[in-house]
Amino acid sequence: MSTVVIVGTQWGDEGKGMVVDLFSEKADLLVRFQGGNNAGHTVVVGDDTTILHHIPSGILHDDVLCVIGNGVVIDPEVLIGEIGQVKSKGKFQSDRQLAISNRAHIIMPWHKAIDQAAENAKGEKKIGTTGRGIGPAYRSKMSRTGLRFGDFLDEKNFPDYVQDNIGEFNCLLKNFYDAPELEPDEIIETYRGYARKLKPYAADTFRLVNDAVRARKNVLFEGAQGTMLDIDHGTYPYVTSSNTVAGAVCTGAGVGPRSVDKVYGVLKAYTTRVGAGPFPTELHDEIGDRIGERGHEFGATTGRKRRCGWLDLAAVKYAARLNDLTHLIVTKVDVLDGLDKIKMAVAYEIDGRVTDIVPADIEEYARAKPIYETLAGWTESTSGMTSWDELPPELRAYLARIAEVLGLPVAVASVGPGRAQTIVLHPPF
């Protein structure tokens, strides 16, 4: 019986969805605590692939109660589409399997319009956001002009909310961004329909989550994005607009810090990044292309090509400290099959200094040169391997070195996207 947080330790897309689905087998409750539909979490079961943006990645297990916590921002249209998609697979047959916090915030059409217009206006300096309105929705939340899920369901007040808020955004769209304005009546009509469809899922999730923690149930917290995209600790301003670190569980799910027993950090056996910003170990050669092709490194949300590079353990070490990790999960090791030599960065050299701390100054970080260790690769195909002993000795040495540098045990290594393609050494429950 324990409470376990799953976080990404890199720039997102580490395979969190795969891990959460795997661990959900024995979980009672699963909570998403931050981010929105900028997340794209892939779950592969047999021949079937499901990409989840809003619904927690354990939804394919019938006995897990999935919670969208107060720290999340929700695009109702996307969520409704996703609910339909999962139900059409014959899963999620009871509405009681999903609970949405009445304190979560709604992404309104103007948030999406402003996100896209602002990115277009930035030209060369664009962040490369997903364009889903995430930043503007969190901005409204912090400005105390956001719309909470519980208030969204209030049919009487919703039209007033739209009328009170649309003017400010239309003024920006028209006068500052030279973009089309939005029509309030259309939004009121469409979004009222969304509210009706989502009403059955509204809940006081504070109670659900706290009761489960206190009853010592198996509780999972599912992070989105990755530590290096954290609004405070990531490569600002090339980050997302929420705290992605494990500490965000407290604010985004409504539990105290003593409620967390274990923190599993997910890392890919190499590094990827979608969108702009520094990436010290990025490869612009045929090895980078090979990793991208073998790893199918295209964004699960936007389909954009992910930038690829060697494993950056300096960044992961920073993430390990920020998240107080207890365990490591190394994914996609099969993607490195067949490489002669494999490199991993263990520190940076910045302006003649050696460090393993990610500096706050983004320009300084852009000058960071990785200090690499080179390890032997392996020739075998690992995707069918199911035990530690079966893994090639070079791969075991690679994983052992990761554990040594980070001072943490490797709990899981994955050799493919499927449930069975995981070697679990330290299960969470």
Contact footprint for ligand GDP (CB under 6 A): 8, 12-18, 40-42, 44, 296, 300, 331-332, 334-335, 414-417
Q: Cβ 74 to ligand IMO, closest distance in Å?
A: 14
Catalytic residue list contains 61: no
- Residue 130 interface partner, choices ligand GDP, Mg ion, ligand IMO, none, CB cut-off 5-8 Å depending on type: ligand IMO
Three-state DSSP at 375 gives strand
Instruction: Give the chain's radius of gyration (CA, Å).
Output: 21
Residue 283 corresponds to which amino acid? L
Pick 240 or 281: Cβ nearer ligand IMO: 240
- 13, 82, 222, 312: residue in contact with Mg ion (rule CB under 5 A): 13
Residue 54 corresponds to which amino acid? H
Phi then psi for residue 190, to 5 deg, are -65, -45
Per CB under 5 A, which region of 33-41, 137-145, 325-333, 340-348 contacts Mg ion? 33-41
Residue 181 corresponds to which amino acid? E
- 15, 35, 36, 40: residue in contact with Mg ion (rule CB under 5 A): 40
Distance of CA 388 to the CA centre of its chain: 27
Pick 31 or 385: Cβ nearer ligand IMO: 31
- 109, 135, 416, 417: residue in contact with ligand IMO (rule CB under 6 A): 135
Catalytic residue list contains 48: no
DSSP 252: I
The reply to whether 222 sits near ligand IMO by the rule CB under 6 A is: no
Q: Which of 135, 63, 99 is nearest to 253 (CA)?
A: 99
Q: Which of 372, 299, 349 is nearest to 13 (CA)?
A: 299
Phi then psi for residue 108, to 5 deg, are -95, 160
- 108, 173, 291, 300: residue in contact with Mg ion (rule CB under 5 A): 300
- Residue 44 interface partner, choices ligand IMO, ligand GDP, Mg ion, none, CB cut-off 5-8 Å depending on type: ligand GDP
Residues 21, 41, 54, 105: which is the catalytic one? Answer: 41
Q: Cβ 386 to ligand IMO, closest distance in Å?
A: 26
Pick 241 or 326: Cβ nearer ligand IMO: 241
H-type helices in 47-157, by residue range?
76-88, 109-122, 134-142, 149-152
Q: With both helix axes pointing from N to C terminus, report the angle between 158-171 and 109-122 in degrees, rounded to the nearest 10.
A: 10
Measured distance CA(85)–CA(51) in Å, rounded: 10
The reply to whether 76 sits near ligand IMO by the rule CB under 6 A is: no
Kindly list the distances between the CA atom of residue 256 and the CA atoms of 66, 182, 251, 376, in Å, as whole numbers in the listed order.
Answer: 20, 41, 8, 44
- Residue 219 interface partner, choices ligand IMO, Mg ion, ligand GDP, none, CB cut-off 5-8 Å depending on type: none
Which residues 6+ apart lie within 8 Å of 151 measured at CB? Answer: 157, 158, 161
- Residue 128 interface partner, choices Mg ion, ligand GDP, ligand IMO, none, CB cut-off 5-8 Å depending on type: ligand IMO
Active site residue ranges: 13, 41
Q: Interface residues with ligand IMO (CB under 6 A)?
A: 8, 11-13, 38-41, 127-130, 132, 134-135, 224-226, 229, 240-241, 274-275, 300
